[in-house]
C-alpha cells in the first residue's frame, strides 16, 4: 500500500489517506446517514450517536462495559489534564458554582428555600432584561422549556409562524407540530438567518390576525446563526400585529445582547447548562404580562408545565408546586452572583470578543464559516465548514481521542460538513486559544494543509488589543 502511495502526487496522497481513514467510519456514516437518510424534518441528531454506534458495532459488549465501569469508578474515560469542553452546551461550570452545589439536600418547605427562591426570581429577570416579566425555574431541559412556552400560551390548532434554519429550530418545529399547532414553516438554507421577508408578507396579508404566535430561535446552535429579534418586533409593530412573540434564547441569553422588554418578547427561555454555566436540569422561562394573560385562556393540555401552579405558589410565598433541585437553586444563586460581579454587559462583550477571535482564526485557516452573512454571525458558537474531502465527524472524534477536547458535531443537513466550536458561558481567552491551537493540529491530522499557528496568531492579534484588565485585580 505504501508503495503505491509513493507514486501519487501530493494532493492525491492526501485524498488517499483521507479515504483510508474514512473507511473506518464508512459503515456507520453510510448506513445511518446516506443509505437510510432520516426524513428531512426528523427530530433527531443523525450523527449524534456516531461514536457509540460504532462501538456498539465493534462490540462494546456487556462484559466490556462491566470492565470499564470497574476500572473507572471515578471517570469513565480518563485522560490527563483538563477536558477542553467546546461544545455549545453543556459548558464549563465555574469552580464557585461547583462549590455552591456541593451540598446535601434540604427541606424545600423550610423558610430557607423560599427566601432563596425569591432572590433568584428577582435576579433572573435581569438577565432577560425585563422588569415586567415573570420567570419560571422549571426542573426540565430546554425541550421542556419550549413545551412550557407553547402550551401555556396557545391552543391546539392555533396558527403560528416558525423559522427553520437549522437542527434546533427544526426540533422546535417538530414539537410545535406534535402539539397540534398549525405551523407555517419558513425555511432558510442552513447557514442563513430567518427569512423575515416572508414573515413580513405573512403579517401584511394576515389582516384577520389568524397568526397567533411567531416562534423564533434567537441563536441557532447548529449553524451558528443569530437572528435579528429587534427586526421581528419592528415588523410586528409595523403591521400592528398582536401575535405573541416567542423566543428560544437557549444559546443566547446571558451571552448575546438580549432585551426582552425592549423587543416586546412575550416568552423567552433558556437552559441552565448554556451561558449560565450550570449543570443541565433547569429550564428558565420568562413570560410577559401579555403571555400570562394568554395563559388564562390557552387550551393546550398541560399539568407539569402549567404556569398556573407556579403562580399559585408564588402568591402563597412557597414558590414551588413540586420539589426543586436544592443544588441547582444554590448553583443559580452563585452563577448569577458571578455574572453580576463581572457585569452582564461585560459578559456580553466578552462573548463578542471570543466570537470575533474564533472567526478570525477560521478565516486564517482558509476555511468558511457556515454562517453565510456577517449580519448573522454568532458570538456563542461557530460552525466551521470543512473541505469536501474531509469528514467533520472525524475532527470531532480526533479531538476527543487525542486532545481531550470536545467539539460539536455537524447535525443533520450539515452532518459531516461542519464541526462546531462552542464559545459561550464561563470561558476566557486563553482557554479559547488552547482550543484553536488544538483545532489546528487536528486539521493537520486529517490532512488539511493548515499553517500551524495561523489561527492562533490571527485570534491573538485581535485579543491582545481588546482584552481588558480584570477589574478585581487592578
Stretch 227-286 residues interacting with a copy of itself (CB under 8 A): 271, 273, 279-281
Q: How far apart are CA 148 and CA 304, in angstroms?
A: 9
- Look at the alpha carbons of 265, 270, 275, 277 in this order and tell me if their dihedral is positive or negative: positive
> Long-range contacts: 232-236, Cβ < 8 Å, 24+?
232/194, 232/196, 232/199, 232/263, 233/263, 233/264, 233/265, 235/196, 235/199, 235/200, 235/203, 236/203, 236/264
Q: Binding to a copy of itself by residue 182, rule CB under 8 A?
A: no
* Phi-psi domain of 180 (left: phi exceeds 0; alpha: psi -120 through 50; beta: other): left
CB of 417 to a copy of itself, least distance (A): 17
CB of 428 to a copy of itself, least distance (A): 3
CB of 228 to a copy of itself, least distance (A): 27
- Residues 186 to 215 in contact with a copy of itself, rule: CB under 8 A: none
- Residues 450 to 469 in contact with a copy of itself, rule: CB under 8 A: 451-454, 456-458, 460-461, 463-464, 467-469
In the complex with a copy of itself, the residue whose CB is nearer, 134 or 435, is 435
- Residues 299 to 358 in contact with a copy of itself, rule: CB under 8 A: 300-301, 303-306, 309, 312-313, 316-319, 321-328, 333-334, 337-338, 341-342, 347, 350
In the complex with a copy of itself, the residue whose CB is nearer, 96 or 387, is 96
In the complex with a copy of itself, the residue whose CB is nearer, 26 or 52, is 52
Q: Which residues contact 227 (CB under 8 A, 6 or more apart)?
A: 163, 165, 193, 194, 216, 217, 218, 219, 220, 376
In the complex with a copy of itself, the residue whose CB is nearer, 12 or 72, is 72
In the complex with a copy of itself, the residue whose CB is nearer, 242 or 453, is 453
In the complex with a copy of itself, the residue whose CB is nearer, 99 or 209, is 99
Site string for a copy of itself, 135-174 (x = CB under 8 A): ----xxxxxx-xx--------x------------------
- Residues 43 to 62 in contact with a copy of itself, rule: CB under 8 A: 43-45, 48-49, 51-53, 55-56, 60, 62
Site string for a copy of itself, 4-43 (x = CB under 8 A): ----------------------------x----------x
**Residue in 189, 288, 309 with CA at minimum distance from that of residue 243:** 288
Asked if 452 contacts 444 with a C-beta cutoff of 8 angstroms, the reply is yes
Residue corresponding to grid cell 480526533: 398
SS3 call for 368: strand
In the complex with a copy of itself, the residue whose CB is nearer, 86 or 163, is 86
Q: Which stretch binds a copy of itself (CB under 8 A): 184-192, 202-210, 383-391, 439-447?
A: 439-447
CB of 214 to a copy of itself, least distance (A): 20
Number of Cα atoms under 13 Å in the Cβ half of residue 210: 10
- Residues 350 to 409 in contact with a copy of itself, rule: CB under 8 A: 350, 400-406, 409
- Residues 116 to 135 in contact with a copy of itself, rule: CB under 8 A: 116, 118-119, 122
CA-to-CA dists, residue 447 to 179, 222, 384, 391, 394, angstroms? 46, 25, 16, 11, 11
Number of Cα atoms under 13 Å in the Cβ half of residue 181: 33
Cell numbers representing residue 171 in the block: 426540533
CB of 294 to a copy of itself, least distance (A): 18
Burial (0-12, 13-18, 19+ Cβ within 10 Å), 30: exposed
In the complex with a copy of itself, the residue whose CB is nearer, 19 or 82, is 82
Phi then psi for residue 465, to 5 deg, are: -85, -10
CA-to-CA dists, residue 55 to 13, 77, 345, 442, angstroms? 29, 14, 44, 22
Amino acid at each position: 500500500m505504501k508503495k503505491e502511495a509513493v507514486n501519487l502526487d501530493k494532493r492525491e496522497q492526501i485524498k488517499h489517506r483521507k479515504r483510508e481513514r474514512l473507511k473506518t467510519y464508512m459503515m456507520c456514516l453510510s448506513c445511518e446517514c446516506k443509505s437510510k437518510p432520516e426524513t428531512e424534518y426528523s427530530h433527531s441528531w443523525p450523527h449524534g450517536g456516531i461514536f457509540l454506534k460504532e462501538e456498539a458495532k465493534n462490540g462494546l459488549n456487556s462484559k466490556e462495559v462491566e470492565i470499564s465501569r470497574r476500572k473507572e469508578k471515578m471517570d469513565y474515560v480518563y485522560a490527563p489534564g483538563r477536558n477542553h469542553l467546546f461544545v455549545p452546551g453543556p459548558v464549563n461550570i465555574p469552580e464557585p458554582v461547583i462549590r455552591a452545589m456541593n451540598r446535601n439536600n434540604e427541606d424545600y418547605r423550610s423558610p430557607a428555600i423560599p427566601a432563596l427562591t425569591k432572590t433568584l426570581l428577582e435576579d433572573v429577570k435581569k438577565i432577560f432584561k425585563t422588569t415586567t416579566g415573570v420567570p419560571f425555574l422549571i426542573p426540565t431541559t430546554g425541550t421542556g422549556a419550549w413545551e412550557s412556552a407553547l402550551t401555556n400560551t396557545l391552543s391546539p390548532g392555533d396558527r403560528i409562524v416558525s423559522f427553520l434554519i437549522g437542527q434546533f429550530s427544526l426540533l422546535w418545529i417538530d414539537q410545535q407540530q406534535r402539539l397540534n399547532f398549525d405551523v407555517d414553516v419558513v425555511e432558510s438554507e442552513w447557514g442563513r438567518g430567518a427569512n423575515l421577508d416572508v414573515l413580513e408578507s405573512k403579517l401584511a396579508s394576515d389582516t384577520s390576525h389568524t397568526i397567533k404566535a411567531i416562534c423564533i430561535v434567537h441563536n441557532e446552535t447548529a449553524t451558528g446563526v443569530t437572528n435579528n429579534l429587534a427586526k421581528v418586533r419592528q415588523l410586528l409593530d409595523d403591521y400592528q400585529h398582536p401575535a405573541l412573540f416567542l423566543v428560544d434564547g437557549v444559546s443566547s441569553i446571558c451571552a448575546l445582547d438580549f432585551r426582552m422588554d425592549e423587543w416586546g418578547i412575550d416568552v423567552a427561555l433558556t437552559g441552565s447548562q448554556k451561558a449560565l454555566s450550570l449543570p443541565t436540569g433547569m429550564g428558565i422561562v420568562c413570560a410577559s404580562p401579555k403571555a400570562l394573560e394568554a395563559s388564562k385562556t390557552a387550551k393546550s393540555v398541560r399539568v407539569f408545565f402549567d404556569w398556573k401552579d407556579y403562580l399559585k405558589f408564588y402568591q402563597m410565598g412557597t414558590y414551588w408546586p413540586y420539589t426543586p433541585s436544592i443544588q441547582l437553586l444554590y448553583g443559580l444563586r452563585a452563577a448569577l452572583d458571578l455574572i453580576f460581579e463581572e457585569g452582564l454587559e461585560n459578559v456580553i462583550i466578552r462573548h463578542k470578543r471570543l466570537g470575533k477571535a474564533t472567526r478570525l482564526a477560521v478565516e486564517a485557516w482558509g476555511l468558511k464559516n457556515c454562517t453565510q452573512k456577517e449580519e448573522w454571525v454568532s458570538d456563542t458558537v461557530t460552525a466551521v465548514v470543512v473541505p469536501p474531502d474531509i469528514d467533520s465527524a472525524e475532527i470531532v472524534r480526533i479531538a476527543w481521542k487525542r486532545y481531550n477536547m470536545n467539539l460539536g458535531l455537524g447535525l443533520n443537513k450539515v452532518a459531516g460538513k461542519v464541526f462546531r466550536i462552542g464559545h459561550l458561558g464561563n470561558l476566557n481567552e486563553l482557554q479559547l486559544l488552547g482550543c484553536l491551537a488544538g483545532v489546528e493540529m487536528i486539521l493537520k491530522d486529517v490532512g488539511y494543509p493548515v499553517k500551524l499557528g495561523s489561527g492562533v496568531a490571527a485570534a491573538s492579534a485581535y485579543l491582545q488589543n481588546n482584552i481588558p484588565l480584570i477589574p478585581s485585580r487592578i
